[in-house]
Structure formats: C-alpha cells, structure tokens
Amino acid sequence: MSITVRLGTADDLPHVAQLYLEWGYRSTADASDTLIVAEHDRRIVGVVRLTVEHGVRMLRGMRVQPVYQRTGLGTQILELAAKHIGANECFGIPYTHLLPFYARIGFVEVQPSDAPQFLVERAESYRAEGLNVAIIRRPA
C-alpha cells in the first residue's frame, strides 16, 4: 500500500469537503487553512487542518478513512502537522479516547480556565450533543 502524506493544496479543498460530508463532520476546509492530507491511489484517505481562529492556532478536523485507521497513517499525518505547528502554541478539541494519540506530539489536556473562551464554549456545545471531548494544548 503506497500512501503519501503531504501538504494539501487549494485543489484538495473540494475533495476534503466531500470527505468531511461523508464522515459526518460539520466543518469544512478553507483556503486559509494549512491542509495535511494522506493520499492513496490519488484519493485522499486522511486529513487534518491547521487553522487560526480568534488569533489562536488550532488543529482541527483530523479524520482518517476507517479502513486506514490503526495502520500508522494518522500518526504520519500528525507528525507532519507537528512540523508545521513548529514552536507555536496550538489548541484542539479531540474525543477524550484520542488524548494519548495527540500526546505523541506534545498535546496535553487543559482545564477550561487555561483555554480561550471560544474553545470552552465550543467544547461545551459538543458535550451538550453527547460528545466526549477535551480541550488540548501544545505549548509554545
């Protein structure tokens, strides 16, 4: 299985949007995002976005096609994301069962008092929908 993990381009945006729709993920990729995609046979099978919201760098929308999960592909995507995050602070809101996965690149769970208010509100809205999420931070 030959899979390439690379920086995404504007040409990837429609494909990422379609995959997010298929996966039931409500957000979408924007031209201002840094996309990291995994490609197999010229099809995107995994993605994560680096965004800036309210002046805060965010890791968002990490998704891998189910058939490719637990193959190390997500780790490859995450490692390339870490290179692009660099020494910058970065936040995210993953499912709690994925905390050890994100810890691989230095993310730690933070209390709401240590997170930007808009993220606290977003995490609370996810929890109100029954999602088990945490706020994570990768320090600068």
pLDDT at 40: 93
CA 34 to CA 47: how far, in whole Å?
A: 10
Task: Give me the residue label for tokens 């600068």.
Answer: 140
pLDDT at 2: 83
pLDDT at 28: 87
Give the ranges where 1-136 is alpha helix by DSSP (H): 13-23, 73-85, 99-103, 117-128
Q: Tell me the pLDDT of the chain averaged across its residues.
A: 95
- Residue 114's domain comprises 3-138
Give the number of domains in the chain.
Answer: 1
Which tokens in the block code for residue 8? 């995404």
Find the CATH number of the domain harbouring 69: 3.40.630.30
Radius of gyration of the chain, Cα coordinates, nearest whole angstrom: 14
Mean pLDDT confidence for 25-46: 92
> Looking at the predicted structure, is the pLDDT value of residue 1 above 70?
no
> Looking at the predicted structure, is the pLDDT value of residue 82 above 90?
yes
**By three-state DSSP, how is residue 12 classified?**
helix
**By three-state DSSP, how is residue 8 classified?**
coil
Which tokens in the block code for residue 61? 């929308």
Mean pLDDT confidence for 24-43: 92
**By three-state DSSP, how is residue 106 classified?**
coil
pLDDT at 26: 85
Q: Computed from CA positions of residues 135, 58, 48, 77, in that sequence, does the dihedral angle turn out positive or negative?
A: negative
